[in-house]
Amino acid sequence: MQNVATNSQVNMESELLQLGLKQVNLGTSTGMEFFASGGELSSYSPVDGSLIGVVKMTTAEDYERVIEQAQKAFKYWRQVPAPKRGEIVRQFGEKLRQHKQSLGKLVSYEMGKSLQEGLGEVQEMIDICDFAVGLSRQLYGLTMHSERPGHRMYEQWHPLGLVGIISAFNFPVAVWSWNSALAWICGDVCIWKGSEKTPLCAVACQNIWNEVAKENNLPEGISSVITGGADIGEMMVTDTRVPLISATGSTRMGRIVGAKVAERFGKSLLELGGNNAIIVTENADLKMTIIGAVFGACGTAGQRCTTTRRLIIHESIFDEVKSKISAAYGQLKIGNPLNENNHVGPLIDKDAVRLYLNSIEEAKMQGGKIVVEGGVLQGEGYESGCYVKPCVIEVKDSSLPIVQHETFAPILYIMKYSDLDEAISMQNGVVQGLSSSIMTTNMRQAEKFLSCEGSDCGIANVNIGTSGAEIGGAFGGEKETGGGRESGSDAWRNYMRRQTNTINYSTSLPLAQGIKFDL
């Protein structure tokens, strides 16, 4: 691996100005303006350790104001025709196009992912807005034939109301947009608690929304931002006035959120952990395989829920793949993510570095053999202490506790298999069920992997890696990944309530199932 840092100072001032982030009292907003009266939350960049900005945290009183405004806004917004709501979302997408460079740089600088990935995340926001605009004219229900003469049956979908969104640091803007763009066209209003590790990204997105709201004379409360830690998130999770909570984060967090929302009979959409594998068959195109595996394992410094964490390789090509993976890792450039020559940026903070180091030691103690050495980078350009080397570890047993565990860092475990049934069993033999992939040029192997006896994940790919999902398909996973679905396909139904309607246009009142009730 080439440890490439940059000596140049990161100049974010113009981007912050573009996004309206030079004030320090930002934090809570129901639209148009920001307000907050809580303590301060400082955002430090993992790129160089610099303080980017300070926001005020939401208090219980601030939260009540947000809920009150959101309830008022919902009464207005739900009566706006869906295509008109789509037009507002279209304008929001256009604003994102205008601010793509600045917002993408902020994502990269505050979170630490490469600039290409930061810009790609904003492009995801633009794409979901485009998707939502078309969807605003396609919120279809069904019509059904009634068993009773002179009757018509159909179903329709109504907005839920207030949608609470809890997002994680690794995708500080895109996941919010997956939820908000669809919820808005469905007639809902959104309250967003972004990660306390990336608060400025949330404030920037709200600023962009505020531009659209002001230009269209929209009321406050259609989009709101709250800022703080787990306590402010719990206010929303336990609030019966918020019928849907969409939460992205760890499985541990999901257990808490899911239980609390279920206790009040609310709805939850959970996107939780992943422990994703690529099966490399003896029929794989190895050039494609190496590119997919290395990006999947090292992209975003291993901090994606779809990161490739396990490489399950056929025994006949194991040594060759291991050699090629090692060579590819040797070409990785690690450093300032705003330098587009670098492939890998920093971890989010020093806690993440500690977990990374602990996981490597655990793997060694459990019999893992280091193939590509890890470690923390030091020296000029690495002063933040958050830069680490992507690591590859060979294991003989896929059931090792450390392999079963999701470590949010660039650690890739490689292992052998002898036949496809064994490989699928290894792939499925974890508690998470998000993304999976098989590399093969054999149609039968590919089809078996995609069949009901194949991958048990919500996402199953052939000849591409585990990360990089498109917005057109529903995104989410099974088992301890939570079962939620966001983004494309029919994920919009999560944000609406179904109603079955029966209309009697006859002059009599026949009952269903032939029941007689004469007076």
The residues carrying an active-site annotation are: 271, 305
Task: Assign 122 to helix, strand or coil.
Answer: helix
At 110, which amino acid appears?
Answer: E
Nearest to 74 by CA among 179, 159, 192: 159
Q: Are 427 and 415 in contact (CB under 8 A)?
A: no
Q: Which residues are CB-neighbours of 459 under 8 A, at least 6 positions away?
A: 306, 434, 435, 436, 466, 469, 473, 475, 477
d(CA 359, CA 345): 19
* Assigned token pair, 389: 């080397």
d(CA 133, CA 486): 16
Count of CA atoms in the C-beta half-sphere (13 A) of 327: 9
Report in angstroms the alpha-carbon separations of 222 from 41, 67, 247, 351, 453. 24, 11, 19, 35, 44
d(CA 169, CA 166): 10
Nearest to 111 by CA among 59, 171, 51, 60: 171
d(CA 227, CA 39): 10
Which residue is it, tokens 């903070």?
A: 349
d(CA 38, CA 505): 58
DSSP 453: T
Nearest to 83 by CA among 12, 129, 153, 135: 135
Burial class (CB in 10 A: 0-12, 13-18, 19+), 507: exposed
Q: Are 53 and 80 in contact (CB under 8 A)?
A: no
At 378, which amino acid appears?
Answer: Q
Buried b (16+ CB within 10 A) or exposed e, 343-353: bbbbbbbeebb
Nearest to 26 by CA among 204, 210, 165, 232: 204
Q: How many other β-carbons are positioned within 10 Å of the β-carbon of residue 142?
A: 10
Which residue is it, tokens 């869906």?
A: 82
Report in angstroms the alpha-carbon separations of 485 from 128, 388, 418, 474. 14, 32, 34, 6
d(CA 24, CA 21): 8
Count of residues for the chain?
519
Task: Assign 418 to helix, strand or coil.
Answer: coil
Q: Which residues are CB-neighbours of 340 under 8 A, at least 6 positions away?
A: 114, 115, 116
